[in-house]
Amino acid sequence: MTRYLSPKSTDDTAGSRLRMFCFPYAGGGASAYGRWQRGLDLHGARAEVLPVQLPGREGRMGEPRFTDLGSLVDDLDAQLDQELDRPHVLYGHSMGALIAYSLVLRRQARGAPLPKALVLSAYRAPHLPAPNIADPDASDEELLESLASLGGIPRVLLKHPEFLSALLPVARDDLLMCAADETNAGGEPVRVPLHLFAGRRDRLVTVPEVVAWRRHAGRGCEVRTMPGGHFFIRAHEEAFLSELASLLRRYTPMPALAGAMSA
C-alpha cells in the first residue's frame, strides 16, 4: 500500500465502487475528508473515498514537506500509479485542485490511465495568478487571521497554541508551493471531463475565475455554484456532498458490470 493512502482503503467491495482520491487544501490533511464516506453513502453514491495524505502533516508529520509542485506530482504519480489503474476520479479543493489537475497533466503526458473525471473546487484557472491568501512575509498572526477569515481554521482553535504551532509551517510551505507553481498555463487541455465547484461568496476565488477553467477543458466542462465562501465544503458540507454524489453516480460502474469485471 502506498504511503499516501491509509491502510483502511485496502478494503473491498472494490469493483462495485468508484474510487475518489481527495487532495487537501493548503495547511490541511487527509482528515479534512474524514466524514465524506458516510455522507456520500447516505446520498446514495457508490464511491470509495480515498483521502491522500501528503508528507509533513498529521500521520506523516515527521516527513519533509514538498515545496515544489513538480516534485510532489512526480512522487504522487509514481506512488499512486497502481492504485490509479481501476476506475477513479480525482478531487481537490483549493491547493488540492491544483495538485489533482497537475497530476492529470503528468499522467496524460506519459500515456498513463486517466480518471473518469476531474472534480475541482475553489481554485482559479491555471492561466490566472495563484490566489494570494497572505504575503510571503506575513507574520504568524496575519497568516492565522487570513486563514480564519476564509473559514480555513475554526476560530475556537485560535486559542490552542499547540495546534497552531503545527499548522503554521505546513500552511506556509503549501502557500509557497502554490505561489511558485508554473503549471501548464497555456498548454494542452485535460482529456477528461472537468467538473468545477465555486462558492458564491468566496472572496479569494471568484465564480468567474473558476469558470475560466473552461479554457483547459478538452472533454467538456461543468460549473456548479454553492452557497458560502471559500470553505463551502465545510460550512455547507451536506449540500455539497449531495451535489457531489449526484455527479459521482454518472461515473460509477453498474453493479452487474462490476461483478463481471471482478470474476
CATH number of domain containing 140:
3.40.50.1820
User: What local confidence, expressed as pLDDT, does residue 8 receive?
Assistant: 60
How far apart CA 72 and CA 177 sit, in angstroms, is 10
204 contacts 233 by C-beta, under 8 angstroms: no
What is the average per-residue pLDDT within 241-255?
91
Q: What's this model's pTM, rounded to 2 decimal places?
A: 0.90
Average pLDDT over the chain, rounded to whole? 88
Residue 64 main-chain phi, psi, to 5 deg: -65, 140
Please report whether residue 42 resides in a domain: yes
How far apart CA 218 and CA 114 sit, in angstroms, is 13
Q: Spot the catalytic one: 9, 16, 94, 146.
A: 94
Please report whether residue 137 resides in a domain: yes
What is the average per-residue pLDDT within 206-223?
96
**Distance set, CA 223 to CA 119, 120, 219 (Å):** 10, 10, 14
User: 204: closest CA among 91, 87, 121?
Assistant: 121
76-117: pLDDT as tens digits:
999 999 999 999 999 999 999 999 999 999 999 999 999 999
Alpha helices in 63-110 (DSSP H): 69-80, 95-109
Please report whether residue 212 resides in a domain: yes
The percent of residues in the chain predicted with pLDDT above 90, rounded, is 67
How far apart CA 10 and CA 47 sit, in angstroms, is 14
Q: Residue 263 pLDDT more than 50? A: no
Q: Residue 261 pLDDT more than 60? A: no
Active-site residue 121, yes or no?
no
39 contacts 115 by C-beta, under 8 angstroms: no
Please report whether residue 5 resides in a domain: no
Please report whether residue 165 resides in a domain: yes
Show the cell assigned to 33: 475528508
Please report whether residue 223 resides in a domain: yes
Q: What is the extent of the structural domain holding 144?
A: 15-249
Please report whether residue 259 resides in a domain: no
Count of domains forming the chain = 1
45 contacts 240 by C-beta, under 8 angstroms: no
Which of 58-62, 80-84, 144-148 shows the highest mean pLDDT? 80-84
